[in-house]
Amino acid sequence: MSNKVFELMKDLEHEQVVICHDPKSNLKAIIAIHNTTLGPALGGTRMWNYNSDDDAVVDALRLSRGMTYKAAISGLNLGGGKAVIIGDPALKSEALWRRYGKFVNSLNGKYITAEDVNTSASDMEFIHLETKHVTGIPEYMGGSGDPSPFTAYGVFVGMKACAHKAWGNDSLSGKKVLVQGVGHVGQYLVGHLVDAGAKVFITDINQERIKETREKYQVEFVAPEDMLKMELDVYAPCALGATINDTTMAQLKCPIIAGAANNQLAEEKVHGRQLIDRGIIYAPDFLINAGGLINVAAEASGSYNREKVNKDVEKIYDRILDIFALSAAENITTQEAAMHIAQKRIDDVAHVKSRL
């Protein structure tokens, strides 16, 4: 990979990649800064036991690029960044987070971190001991806490926009919705769906999460290997990325895909087009899952108001309908339509900045 990093950075148009290592705390982290035209790069830190360092680099690069577009399309004055920590989340320690916080601090605010897969508000608390460039810190410390409820609310609102497109009204009552991954976001999403009267199915690989969700809500469990055998109204990917790929494409039996996971399309162009050809409505991931970012951006701005954040998250509904209209008018995929709008905002702002 080492000789391919620059190639990949060139292809994906990254500004900077920082590799951090501290043997004592067993920290191996990659901070990827994609684009800072609109502002400092804000994006969560993921902890994952990657199969290889190469996989971790690719993940960091892909995820950080998604953050640039997510901030841009959501009207936020933030750039795109993301970090990954290579390792077993069971082995997290105070020393690891504090050492990582020092690395984040060394970037002087060019990168601001937050939670992501396998990281929590209490981990952010440790990071905060070493840097102020962290969001999603607990409420008792003046932060806004876990961003996942806002992400889930945005996905729910976005799913309603998809329902409007598919069936002419927003109602999810009686609709069969499969939530893949009932972690931080997935569980809150299940709550909204159950309240809306949907028939909710869940799948996960973590028995504890399945148990927790079934104790809280009336849902049916489906084994991961069986989920694509089902006839569904909505498939909501809320686990990891690339679940829309060559294998699953042929199996999907649903008119709508709307979920929180980042990078859902294994290959954006190929699979985005195949979804259109199959008549499947796809809500671009970086648009529908922007609720958490909208929330931490409000926290980072220093003037946090939960009610206003919820109103801002609800704007995802109209943005998704706009994307569907652009996709139909230009015969492009919904992902491409969303990227066009995001890229246009970045280019327009870059132009304004170059005039200063």
Residue from 37, 113, 144, 180 in contact with ligand NAD (CB under 6 A): 180
Contact call for residue 148 and ligand NAD (CB under 6 A): yes
Tell me how crowded residue 91 is: count the other CB atoms within 10 A of its CB. 10
Q: Which tokens sit at 61?
A: 């690069």
Q: Indicate which single residue of 144, 262, 274, 333 sits in contact with ligand NAD (rule: CB under 6 A).
A: 262
State which of positions 64-83 bind ligand NAD (CB under 6 A): none
Q: Which residue, 124, 139, 104, is CA-closest to 30? A: 104
> If binding is defined by CB under 6 A, does position 186 make contact with ligand NAD?
yes
CB of 205 to ligand NAD, least distance (A): 5
In the complex, what is the shortest distance from the CB of residue 208 to ligand NAD, in angstroms, rounded to a whole number?
8
Amino acid at 78: L
Residue in 15, 116, 233, 336 binding ligand NAD, rule: CB under 6 A: 116
Asked if residue 182 binds ligand NAD (CB under 6 A), the reply is yes
Distance CA 290, CA 118 (A): 18
User: Cα(101)–Cα(95) distance, rounded to whole angstroms?
Assistant: 10
> Which of 10, 24, 28, 82 is flagged as catalytic?
82
DSSP-derived secondary structure letter, 258: -
As given in the structure block, the two tokens for residue 160 are 């309603």
Distance CA 95, CA 175 (A): 46
Per CB under 6 A, the segment of 18-26, 259-267, 270-278, 346-354 that binds ligand NAD is 259-267
Residues 201-230 that bind ligand NAD (CB under 6 A): 203-206, 209, 224
Cα distance between residue 346 and residue 97, in whole Å: 32
Q: Is 82 a catalytic residue?
A: yes
* Span interacting with ligand NAD, options 51-59, 73-81, 162-170, 260-268, rule CB under 6 A: 260-268
* Given 40, 43, 147, 158, the residue binding ligand NAD (CB under 6 A): 147
Cβ atoms 261, 288 nearer than 8 A: no
Q: Which is nearer to ligand NAD, 73 or 332 (CB)?
A: 73
Q: Does 151 bind ligand NAD (CB under 6 A)?
A: yes
- List residues bridging with 82 in a β-sheet: 32
The answer to whether 239 contacts ligand NAD (rule: CB under 6 A) is yes
Q: What separation in angstroms does the CA of 303 have from each of 73, 205, 272? A: 21, 39, 38
Report the Cα 189 to chain-centroid distance in Å: 14
> Among all residues, which ones are annotated catalytic?
82
Binding site for ligand NAD (CB under 6 A): 115-118, 147-148, 151, 180-186, 203-206, 209, 224, 238-240, 260-262, 289, 292
